[in-house]
Structure 1
Amino acid sequence: MSIPSAVKSTPIAGRQQLVDYLAAGEKPREAWRIGTEHEKFGFRTDDLRPPAYEGERGIRALLEGIAAQHGWEIAREGELPVALIRDKANITLEPAGQLELSGAPLETIHQTCSEVNAHLAEVRSIADGMGLGFLGMGFQPKWSREQMPWMPKGRYRIMRQYMPRVGALGLDMMTRTCTVQVNLDFSSEADMIRKFRVSLALQPIATALFADSPFTEGRPNGYQSYRSHIWTDTDADRTGMLDFVFADGFGYERYVDYILDVPMYFSYQDGKYIDLAGQDFKRFMAGELAALPGTRATMKDYADHLTTAFPEVRLKQYLEMRGADGGPWGRLCALPALWVGLLYDDEALDAAWDLVKDFTHAERHALRDGVPKHALKLPFRGGSVRDLAREALKIAAHGLKRRARLNAGGADERIFLQPLIEIVEANQTPAERKLELFHGAWGGSVDPVFREFAY
């Protein structure tokens, strides 16, 4: 989600206030919720091109149509609609018009899946009449960076100018990637640490299971998750595996130290984004920025700044799992199933930690670096990532069984793991399946993906 924070503009009195903000996310188990977010590429059904912001078939018209027909409140930047808000959920725009649902915090994956299904139905109810479709994949399969539109958001204007200074692929990350992620709660600092370590170590397994970005500009790109590879050359100051998470003494304070070292993008002041790209948040706290003389950072600025770090797992007042490519409806429900099964049951969390606790620094990085290209077939300790994925899915399934959250038909949340189990048993990722079609039935064209894999 990339709309301004709703946190109050309380002045920052000191570093402990920043630590306390993260700690305020602690919740008792009965209050733990599941927040699922997913992005998708829009395309015009006649020529497959991404829709611009303006125009009869533009993203603005789509947002206004959804708001009018389905009771969403429009959020604006200036006079321009840039997001929709309803019932603790929101629909936002990524830089090239990718449409994102940031779902409400819900109790079960059954509810999450119903929310996703209802959202896609609402989008289709407007998009169909506009000749628009939506595709879930990790990377735009057909169009070049130069052919992608830009949304008129101040945050993205600043990032667009800054990204080329710090990495070669940042603009591709902004315009040509889509992800699905899940946001999960913790009960204490110790619980956060344990969940952070397990999820960070296993994030490459999620990347492998969800790998679905094998094409660039109509041709195979040599990767299964090119989206994941893109993050390795986006901005080293704000991405990566966060090795300090596994060090003795890690906790809220150490994460605050990391965030304070992440260069700034902006401050949102009086309805406008002020360009502070590359500047030091600590100097902002001291009121020493030339662009905002005498202005000291507030807690709202801090909450916004937390959203500008992009590690594989991100801490705000909850933990965000960020390793998966976007995909079709079934896999949107599978991601929260995987992580809820692993992290929301104590026995499963213990088993998951046993699985990863002796991974070395070199092994964690070898998994992160190798999975974008090799996915499940990446060798690991005499076996492969497929073996790790199979074990992680078994642990998650047991965790979901013990949660015993049933739907109206009496099925528990394990049903949502089935797409991932099928991927592991077939030893074929979504990317490999699309490559097989590309070299076979699709006759060397990616165009059929927009028809066969659209929502």
Structure 2
Amino acid sequence: MIEGDPTESDPAATEADLEALVRGICFKTGPPRTTGVEVEWLVHEPHRPHLPLTPDRFEAVYAAVRALPLYSALTVEPGGQLELSSPPAGSLMECVSAVSADLALVRTTLGAFGLALTGLGTDPWRPPARLLRQPRYDAMEAYLDRTGPAGRGMMCSSASVQVCLDAGYEEPGPLGHARRWRLAYLLGPVLVAAFANSPLLRGRLSGWRSSRQWLWASIEPGRSAAPRLDGEPRAAWARRVLDAPVMCIRADHGPWLVPYGLTPRSWVRCGAPRPLTRADLSYHLSTLFPPVRPRGHLELRMIDAQSGDDGWIVPLAVTAALFDDEAATETAYRVVKPLAERAGPAPAPRNALWLAAARHALADPELQDAAAVCFAAALEALPRLGATRTVLDLVAAYTERYVVRGRCPADDLIDRLTVMGKDLPS
């Protein structure tokens, strides 16, 4: 995440300074060359997944995991979810190889503690419970609680596959940053639908195939709403950042202030409760969670965590192919652009199309049709990106099992519960 240095005291004196800083940090244009992925996992006992982790066990487990020689950056989410963030890789397969090696080490270490990684978009068994006690998460919880319980569910009970791609060329065209920014939001509902894998909360069906996406759509919109997409990306994102409520103001000692109605724009104008610094703005950027977050590169945040040891590879490979292969990009853009008419005026992820994707997934005929075209284009493009036969087989099998049948992984869980009853067996 983008974290400002709390000791940095260089003030951003004007709104123009703020906007220039946002533009410089968030969009770094150039040829699309690197690929990354952030994989989040729930952590459970394999045979007693409903049991919570105790704080002492949590600390022991993650101390052991942190000691591993990993390629990826390791972080722990508030509810004890584990996240591996790959370094920027020069190719899709370099990224897959590095993260696969890291996950093998992590799984072995967790196994010694009687625990396993679980790839689901939401915890199906346990209610949200925060294990991390840090000022950032104390403040986040206090802020999000103002608008309901979804924030705690997002913080403590959700997991995802986040695909990270270069912003793209400065110039117009299929691989230009403006097109890639728009494509990310147009393609987002298709990715939500194709990889929906979270139909359960607290042991019961939620009514959503992606309960995770529903949680994100339900939290305070200042944190999760997309900017307007009908203008230049840098300007649109800068406006969104400067007018988004400040979640917290850091302090060297004691709890952090959680203000009401303060934005960076109003903060720099009034200079209270203290002058806003560049570090404050950088930190504010780390507290915004739209479906696509520009962090120099583009971070696509809408995909549920996937089951199985290598399930995460499929969304990474499909998304990379649809963005980094020019022919596949053109195909994807052509097929998803008409879907935008269904979205309506609300920003993602609260508009009609994103909500349909979260509720119905590929049971929605238009989303299924778009997904079928996009997955076919990705399969055709992946050999040009150097994908191995193993990766191609994974994507082909997923396409056959789910996409062409109008299904998603959530449907498998729903089918099990239809047979066993509405409560999830522990």
Provide the TM-score with structure 1 as the length reference.
Answer: 0.82
- Cα offset for 1:35? 1.2
Matched, 1:119 2:97: no
SS of the equivalent of 1:26 reads coil
1:337-388 C-alpha deviation (Å, 9 max, x unpaired): 1111111122222222222334444346332111212110114xxxx32111
- Cα offset for 1:143? 1.6
**Residues 263 and 363 (structure 1 numbering): CA distance in 2 closer, same or farther, change over 3 Å?**
closer
Equivalent residue number for residue 78 of structure 1: none
Structure 2 counterpart of 1:186, which letter?
A
Q: 2:326 aligns with which of 330, 341, 346?
A: 346
- Cα offset for 1:306? 1.7
- Cα offset for 1:308? 1.6
Residues 416-431 of structure 1: matches in 2 within 5 Å?
416-422=394-400, 423-431=402-410
SS of the equivalent of 2:55 reads coil
Q: 1:282 aligns with which of 247, 265, 269?
A: 265
- Cα offset for 1:288? 1.4
Equivalent residue number for residue 311 of structure 1: 290
Q: 1:17 aligns with which of 20, 42, 57?
A: 20
Matched, 1:94 2:77: yes
Q: 1:154 aligns with which of 135, 138, 141?
A: 135
Q: Would the aligned equivalents of 1:180 and 1:322 in 2 still touch at CA under 8 Å?
A: yes
Distance in 2 (CA, whole Å) between partners of 1:124 and 1:363 is 40
Distance in 2 (CA, whole Å) between partners of 1:276 and 1:210 is 35
SS of the equivalent of 2:116 reads strand
Root-mean-square deviation over aligned CA pairs = 2.7
Structure 2 counterpart of 1:203, which letter?
G
Residues 13-412 of structure 1: matches in 2 within 5 Å?
14-22=17-25, 25-29=28-32, 32-45=33-46, 47-49=48-50, 51-52=52-53, 54-55=55-56, 57-58=57-58, 60-68=59-67, 70-71=68-69, 87=71, 89-145=72-128, 148-189=129-170, 190=172, 191-242=176-227, 244-245=228-229, 247=230, 249-268=231-250, 270=252, 274-278=256-260, 279-286=262-269, 288-290=271-273, 293=274, 295-298=275-278, 300-328=279-307, 329-363=309-343, 365-379=351-365, 384-403=366-385, 405-407=386-388, 411=389
SS of the equivalent of 1:100 reads strand
Distance in 2 (CA, whole Å) between partners of 1:273 and 1:347 is 51
Distance in 1 (CA, whole Å) between partners of 2:254 and 2:86 is 26
- Cα offset for 1:185? 0.3
Equivalent residue number for residue 347 of structure 2: none
1:392-424 C-alpha deviation (Å, 9 max, x unpaired): 112222332333x154xxx48544423431211
Equivalent residue number for residue 348 of structure 2: none
Q: How many residues align?
A: 409
Unaligned runs of 5+ in 2: 345-350
1:123-157 C-alpha deviation (Å, 9 max, x unpaired): 22222222222211011111223xx2431122111
Q: Would the aligned equivalents of 2:23 and 2:238 in 1 still touch at CA under 8 Å?
A: no
SS of the equivalent of 1:238 reads helix
- Cα offset for 1:260? 0.8
1:206-252 C-alpha deviation (Å, 9 max, x unpaired): 1111111111221222221111111221112232354x11x1x3221
Structure 1 counterpart of 2:288, which letter?
A
1:271-314 C-alpha deviation (Å, 9 max, x unpaired): 98733444221244457122xx2x3321x332322222222211
Structure 1 counterpart of 2:245, which letter?
P
Question: As a proportion of its length, which structure holds more strand?
Answer: 1
Structure 1 counterpart of 2:83, which letter?
E
Unaligned runs of 5+ in 1: 72-85, 449-455
Question: Which range moved further: 259-268 or 20-29?
Answer: 20-29
Quick one: percent identity of the two aligned structures?
26
SS of the equivalent of 2:39 reads strand
**Residues 337 and 157 (structure 1 numbering): CA distance in 2 closer, same or farther, change over 3 Å?**
same
Distance in 2 (CA, whole Å) between partners of 1:362 and 1:426 is 23
Structure 1 counterpart of 2:167, which letter?
F
Distance in 2 (CA, whole Å) between partners of 1:339 and 1:361 is 22
- Cα offset for 1:112? 2.4
